[in-house]
Structures are given as structure tokens and as C-alpha cells.
Structure 1
């Protein structure tokens, strides 16, 4: 008797689907989160100015205050994650964020919005630290970077779906519809919190449940790790490709070129498509820190190329301008994709596994310091400095300098890890060889234990 064997799917399409049960569950979580966030963010300007009734300057002030609060919350939030376990904090902060969305339709003043914004800031800090800590802790070592890539794609899919939902709500041209749109985001995040609660407990969660994590781990923490602090700072500077992508190149197109403004939609559409389909491919080459540093320099080459290509559009006309501006946007997307793979490797290799929340909190603070100045400086350099866009050369030089600074920083952080927690990374590598670590019977978990894997920003 002949047994029919179904032919495997083409490699390209197979690569678009997360390969393990755990990575698929995490991808669903990422899509729920980003769809909810994207649905509100698309119409947030209309909501804050016309529904809440704030002036544009008040909106800017509120966003600045909440951004500073999130920055200040980052380190203590990371400590909380380590103390109570990443999964628990991740689920609670997701539900807390849902509660903030529920409150939004009832906000009617600057002070009321500020209170809700501070809740967003707190849940954003703790949620991001707990998300990253859970992914790194729950997944086998060999799956982390690959899963991060799939989660990055899933986030972009979700933000795209959210933008479509937000666009539909705006198309009604009704402030009542806009007012109640946050409830949809709240529903999606509530479901997301439930989904997170169904994930298997990570090893750190099990140590918390057993009472093992009652005191701070012995040995120096991330604040005593200068390599980690500096590497996070320079990594933040390399991530200013997002400033070029979302702020500087669009402004340059509008004010310094003859390209039609409708091209902006094509730029962001191209970036979204590339960030959905390519991360699973571009992350394949990162297996260790040496590969990560190679990706840093590839990202830098794309970043510099984008600066040089965009700079010359000051003097071009017609279709050539359109093509070059689009190409400049594509190359800065390349910078984003390659620095993503490198960043995930740094997180996996250079953090103390006992203190992932605290390390993530320090990284959030240092990375912010490495990038918070970029919108103002890059905009000034590109738009105001030099008669023919020579400021782009300074932007490129800043990024090259950051990459050069990252090289010794990573080496210092690597030596610190080898000196202070080498045995922990060896234990993780051994765990990664197993299909799935056993879950102790004394810890009840509603989800079946399955193989684990790793993502990007969340909650």
C-alpha cells in the first residue's frame, strides 16, 4: 500500500510562520498587543485634541511628562520584575494598560489625561522589562534570536491591522466613534493579558513560586557593569534609525525636495512590508556576539548609505528624486533590520539570567540616554545645517562613532559576564539542548508545558 506524503510548503512561506508551538503563542500575544495599541494610536491626535480638548502644546507637554516618567520608572520596574517573576508582572501590567484604555473615554482635561498617562508609563516600563525577561528566560538558548525575529514581524502585522481599524474609526468622521475606540484596545489587551497568563511559567517564575527568590542575587548587578551600560547607550544611538525613518526623512521630503507628499504613504508602507517579511531571514546569521558585531557594522553601512542617498535629493528633480528618497527609506529599513538581530544577541548573551528584569531596566534607561537627543539634533542637522544638506554627513559620522564605541563596550560586558556569571550561561546552554524543561508538579500552571522561544517590545 502506498502512503501519500504531503509535499512541504515552499521554504519562503514556511519561514513566515513561527516554527515552534511556543513561538506561535508568543506571536499571537504580540499581535494582540500591537493591534490594540495601533487601533488607538492611529487616531490619538484627534482623540486628544478634539475629544479631550487639549491644545497641541498641551498634548506635547503631556507626552513629554509621561515619557520622562516611563524613563524614571524603567530601573525600579525591572527590579520588581525580578522580585515577583516576569510572567506575573507581564500579565498584570497588560491588564493595567487595558484599564488605562478603559479610562480614556472619560478623560476630559489635561490633568485627568496626565493621570492616565502616568499609568501608561508605569505599565509600559514594567511591561517591557517583564516581556523581555520572560522571553529570554522561557526559551531555549538556540531559539531566542529566531523567535525575536518572528515576534518583531508579528508586532508589525498587528500595528498594521490596528492602523486599519483606527482608519475605519476615523472614516466615520464622528467624535463619538473616536471617543469609544479605546475600548476596543482595552478589549484586545484584556484578551492579551489572559493569553499571557496561559503561557507556561518561565524558570524564574518557578524560582519565585518556590520561595527561592526572596533575596537579591549575590554578586554585582547591572549598575556595576560598565560594559552593559555603555553597550546599551551606543545601541540606543544606532536605533536612532527610527528617527530618520519616522521624522527626518519625511520632513526632508516635504521641505527640501520636489517629491510629491503622497510618496510618504509608500515609504511607510514599504517599511512595514519589509519588517513583516524579512526579520526571519535577516536574523538567521546571528549565532554569537561576533555575528552580532558583524550585523552592527552592516546596519551602520545601511544607515550611512541612507544619509548619503537622501542628502543628494536636495539637488535632484522629478522621478529621480522620488526613486532616491524611496531608496533612502529602504536602506534605513535595512539598518533597522540588522541592528535588531544584533540587539537580540546582546540581550541573550550579556545579561545576568538571575537579574534579567533589572538588566532590562538599566538598558532602557541607558538606551534612552543614547537616543533621546536625536529628534532635535538630527532635524537641525538635516534641515538647517549646511546649504546643501551637509548635516547628513554629521548624522552619518555620529552613527559610525557609536558603532566604534560599541566594539570595546561589548568586549567589556562580555568579560564581565564570563567573570561574574559564566556558570549560569553554561546552565542555560545545557537547558537549550532539551526539547522542553520539566515543570515541577508542585507549581500549578494552566497551560501545558511546551518548548519555548523569544521577541521584541511589548506591554
Structure 2
């Protein structure tokens, strides 16, 4: 369940501690901002929308900063900044102060994700990167799941004191994670940028940018399928089966925690990553077809089909995430891992903006045929992966070896 002692374990522990606090905050944030701070849902949505735009605009520059100043230094500084910013939410009294802090948080999270990806590339040899990234995703799911359970206590109390205590606890996890990160030692020196290469090379890499614009929204789509579309679908089509939405999320979380590392086997470079990603997209498409069938099934059979679809979905998600990491690590130059992570994050953030309205228009409004349309999106994306990644490999003078 864990890699040997060393950098990998240190990063996993830091990630788990941090995501535990994030899980607790995410569980309580909506009620804290509306019931304790006094913001309306529309004001919260406005602040988050502005913050998302700011974070998306600065994702690549933050990744460049991680490459230029060192991923470890930038990650520690970002964690400290996020600790201060989350604590600052206690003093929020209106929509503009919330929007300002939410924007700082969005930029900080973009920087932390880019720096974290660069840290993985620098902390272990190239052949170990995918496994470490898989361990981190397992830790992420475990931390958020347990944090969500811890966040249920402030919800039960529903007092400002309980929400403030939760914010301070989240702040403490950022500080603790920063302290743990100080123990990481680079596996090898990161090469300097060659003089003949542009600073923001990732933005000029049309093949990789195209991959990010396809795979980023696909990642958002398979995440929102279970957390957003399925619960609403069950509420509209099968009123007695609302618990199935929670059951599907449990299957997804447990599957990611237990099997993400195993899913990285056989992905030894960007070409393999494209094939694994294609396989994952087709598997997730199959889960969409299963969910579309529930519109015309009796209640007892709905239970079987939805739970089966959740199991199929998590298998495809494991393949898709593995393929994504193999492509990012494989196509990024060693001296630009951070900014390539940032460019990919831009594609992911675009997906986060377009996915909820897309799923609403297709699944909630169209019903069973809408699920088939979502399946078609995954099929098209899966078939495009080998071509996009092949384009990226051909544009490099030498095919990039495994993991980097």
C-alpha cells in the first residue's frame, strides 16, 4: 500500500494531511459562507466564478515559477500563503472581500498543483513517477473522504464557532504539509532551460495544448458525472433511489484508493499513456450507456445497473488518469515540468466551467439519450488521444523515454 521510505512517502503523507483539511472545508464551505458569513448563494457563485477565471489565467505562469524558482520552494511558500488565506476567511464580511480571498486561493491552488507535479518529477527517478502520482491520487481520495467525515461535525453543530474551528483546522493542515515537504530531497538536479528555448514553451507547444483542451474537459466530465449529474438524474427519474448517488461515490472513492497504483502498470511513456487513456475513455462511455438504460428499468433493476455503472466508471477513470500522467510527464521537458502541469490545469479549469451546464443540457434535460450523447463524447475523445499524443511525439527531435 506504500512505496519504500524516502521522498515518495514524504510527499504522500504531506498530500494526505493537506487533502484531509481540504475535505473538511469543502464539506462545510457552502453553509459557512451563507449561514455564518451571510452571503447569498448568488454572491458565493459570483466570487467563485471570478476566482476560477483568475486561477485559470495564472495557471501557466505559476507553473513557470515552480520551474524557475524550484518546485519545493514554491510549493512550501504556496502552502504557507494558502494557510494565511484560509484563516483570513474568518474575517470575511461581504462579497468583495470573499472574492478577493477566493481569487488568492484559486491562484494558490493552481500554483500548488503545478509545483506538486514538478515535485513528483524531481523527487523520484523517471520510471517511478507514474506510481508516485498514483499513490498521491489514492492519498487524495482517502484524505478528502476522511476530511468530509470530520467536516460533518461542524454541520451538525451549525454554529459560527464550529465553522471557525474547521477553518483553523484546515489552516493547520497547510502548515503541517509545508513542514513535511521540507524533508524532501531532489533525486537529481533539475536541468536549466536551454538558451535557445522560450521561457513559456508549454504555451507554444500546440500539440500538448490541444491534448490539454481535450483531456482536461474529459477529466472534469468523468468527475462531474457521479458528483453532479447522477444525483440529479436519480432525483428526477427515480425518486426512491437517491441513496444510489452516495453509493456510487463510495464505490468510486474506494476504487481509486485501492486500485489506482495497480492501474499504472503498462504505461511506460506518452504513447502507452495515449493507449491507456483511449481504453479508459471507451470504458467510461460504457458506464454512460448503462446509466442511460435506467430510464426504462424497474426500481430493483435500477439498483443493479447504477452500481454496475459506478464500478465500470471507476475502472475507466483509473485508466484515464494514468494515461494523463504518462502523457504530461512524457511530453514535458525536464526543465519545464511545472509549466506543462500549469497548461494542462488550464484545460482542466475550462472543463470545470463547461461541464455542469453541458451535463445539465444533455442528461437532465434529455434523459436517456443524453447519457448516450455523453458516451459519444468519451468515444470521440478516446479515439483522438493516439493522434494528439502521436503529434506531440513527432514534434520532438527524439521520442521521450518512459516518464520523462
Is the TM-score greater than 0.5? yes
TM-score range, shorter chain: over 0.9
2:213 matched to 1:233? yes
SS in 2 for 1:137: helix
Distance in 2, matches of 1:114 and 1:92, equals 22
Distance in 1, matches of 2:380 and 2:282, equals 12
Distance 1:366 1:216, change over 3 A: farther
**Contact 2:66-2:339 at 8 Å conserved across structures:** yes
**Contact 2:127-2:402 at 8 Å conserved across structures:** no
Distance in 2, matches of 1:426 and 1:173, equals 53
1:199-240 deviation per Cα after TM superposition (whole angstroms, max 9, x unaligned) = 1146456x6xxxxx5x77422512222111111112113212
2:184 corresponds to which of 186, 191, 199: 199
2:290 matched to 1:309? yes
- The structure that is helix-richer by fraction is 2
2:273 matched to 1:288? no
Q: Which residue of 2 aligns with 1:390?
A: 369
The aligned runs of 1:181-220 (5 Å cut-off) are 181-201=166-186, 203=188, 217-219=195-197
Q: Which residue of 1 aligns with 2:392?
A: 413
Distance 1:178 1:371, change over 3 A: closer
Tell me the CA shift for residue 137 of structure 1: 2.0
2:344 matched to 1:359? no
TM superposition score normalised by structure 1: 0.83
Tell me the CA shift for residue 427 of structure 1: 11
Distance in 1, matches of 2:401 and 2:270, equals 15
**Superposed CA RMSD:** 2.0
Q: Which moved more, 1:366-375 or 1:110-119?
A: 366-375
Distance in 2, matches of 1:403 and 1:270, equals 23
2:83 matched to 1:98? yes
**Contact 1:383-1:389 at 8 Å conserved across structures:** no
Distance in 2, matches of 1:224 and 1:176, equals 49
TM superposition score normalised by structure 2: 0.94
Tell me the CA shift for residue 117 of structure 1: 0.8
2:76 matched to 1:117? no
Query: Mind listing any 5+ residue stretches in structure 2 that lack a counterpart?
Result: none
Distance in 2, matches of 1:412 and 1:371, equals 26
Distance in 2, matches of 1:67 and 1:427, equals 33
Tell me the CA shift for residue 408 of structure 1: 1.5
- Look at both structures and tell me which one has the larger radius of gyration over its CA atoms: 1
